[in-house]
Amino acid sequence: MPRTSVSSQCRTCHAATPLKVIRTELTPNGFTSPPRGWNSFPIQANPSITASFSFDQAGVITQCDELAVLGAGYEYCSLDSGWSVGDHGDDYGRITDDPDKFDLPALADHLHSKGLKVGVYVLPGAFCNDADKTIEGTSIKINDTMSGNNNGFARCDFDFAKDGVQQWHNSVVKLFAEWGVDLIKLDYITPGSPDNGGNLPADNSGSVIAFHKAIQNSGREIRLDISWKLDRSSEYFPIWASNADSMRTDQDVNESGSSIFVKWVTVQRAIDNYRDFIASVVKGDSDTLTIYPDMDNLLIGNAASISGVSDVQRQTIATHWFGAAANLIVGSDLTNLDYLGRKLLTDPDALGVAAFAAKFPMQPRNPGTGGLDAKQLQAWVGGPDASTGEAVVVLVNYGPDQGQGGFGTSDSGTQNVTASYEDLGLTGTYNVRNVWQKEDLGSVSGGLSAILDEGESRLFSLMPA
């Protein structure tokens, strides 16, 4: 059995870079934590896994009734692409539900009665087929707001300098609010999203701004999640952080069309993209965040043969998504959760770490230097909280880089992962708890160490002794 131990003295003689504690503050639409819930895309994209699932009102209710049973704060039932009519809107050109599949107001009523919330998926632009329709409450034709670009997804793009663009967004979100929508997932935002067969404009960030303003105008509390693999430069990151509540740091992680949900090589990539995201914040001028990372769907709920990663790796995924303050949107088949999946998703101590990370997201602190680089044997720290001294530490052995991990090393088998408190940017002595194993390590000085197999990690909570 891999062991957890403590380091009683500093094993290095370097002077690690002082820790810059990152804290998350209120998001643009007023949220203090990332969302928890379920999204339909993985079982839509992997139909052989859940052959009985149909992407319609009945199929979604079957999954989301299980979400209500799961509890533990998982509340958003989010519909992905395909819930709406695909080539036109209503009489005002507003996005509307496909009557052959969904009745959104009725679905919202059902889910709200279960204590759940509703999410919908949208793309930038208005339907090209709606060009001659008049925007609700105006005399402006949709065609008069367009830029002339057809983005390849049956939608034409807006010229955000034209009158009527904000009014169109206001009318759409007003309709969503009347239905009872609680989350909008806005996909294919640029710069960032690859074309993926479309003809995306180089910059449609105005769509994010317009949806944010429309949410504010609606008077309803609605989250805005934007994707995918968005530009994190100093020019665009402030736009995302000023208008959206979470942003996709990677592309899709699920194995579309496969008999499994995810591969470890993809998880390595997703973690490295988060590392790059938070490292850019650490290197920046501010120590606060107003947007949460979306590392894509959490695919750990089903048995290893279905999830596609080992049980040890499933726990490591949970540790990283929780510690990163990432969206906890499950993509697993909720009707087929195994014991470990349910435990990982609902463990009170681990969710306590997630609540802490929602204020203090973890950052890399390389063992031996305290740096921010990608490493196969890595350490992470969240906090400490200046008022209580509480902190969270993760030690992990990612195993050999399978091509997208960012670290490029291939040390096989079990490894000793050790991080001194100096490495982690911490000082003093801490009472340490091994969170998943429910093991109190007592008062620990010096640092932390664990013998970890490939893909294995340890999650520690620390309080000053």
Which of the residues are catalytic?
187, 252
CA distance 187 to 193: 8
For residue 303, give the amino acid letter: A
CA distance 103 to 47: 23
CA distance 145 to 2: 61
CB atoms within 10 A of CB 220: 17
Asked if the bond preceding 228 is cis, omega within 30° of 0, the reply is yes
CB 39 within 8 A of CB 445: no
3-state secondary structure the chain: CCCEEEECCCCCCCCCCCCCCCEECCCCCCCCCCCEEEECHHHHHCCCCCCCCCCCHHHHHHHHHHHHHHCCCCCEEECCCCCECCCCCCCCCCCCECCCCCCHHHHHHHHHHCCCEEEEEECCCEEHHHCCCECCCCCCEHHHHEEEEECCCCEEEECCCCCCHHHHHHHHHHHHHHHCCCEEEECCCCCCCCCCCCCCCCCCCHHHHHHHHHHHHHCCCCEEEECCCCCCCCCCHHHHHHHCCEEECCCCCCCCCCCCCCCHHHHHHHHHHHHHHHHHHHHCCCCEECCEEECCCECCCCCHHHHCCCHHHHHHHHHHHHHCCCCEEECCCHHHCCHHHHHHHHCHHHHHHHHHHCCCCCEECCCCCCCCCCCCEEEEEECCCCCCCCEEEEEEECCCCCCCCCCCCCCCCCEEEEEEHHHHCCCCEEEEEECCCCEEEEEEECEEEEEECCCEEEEEEEEEC
Angle at 307 between CA 301 and CA 308, to 5 degrees: 160
CB 248 within 8 A of CB 228: yes
Please report, for residues 182, 220, 308, 316, 387, the alpha-carbon distance to residue 424 in angstroms, rounded to integers and kept in the order given.
38, 41, 32, 19, 18
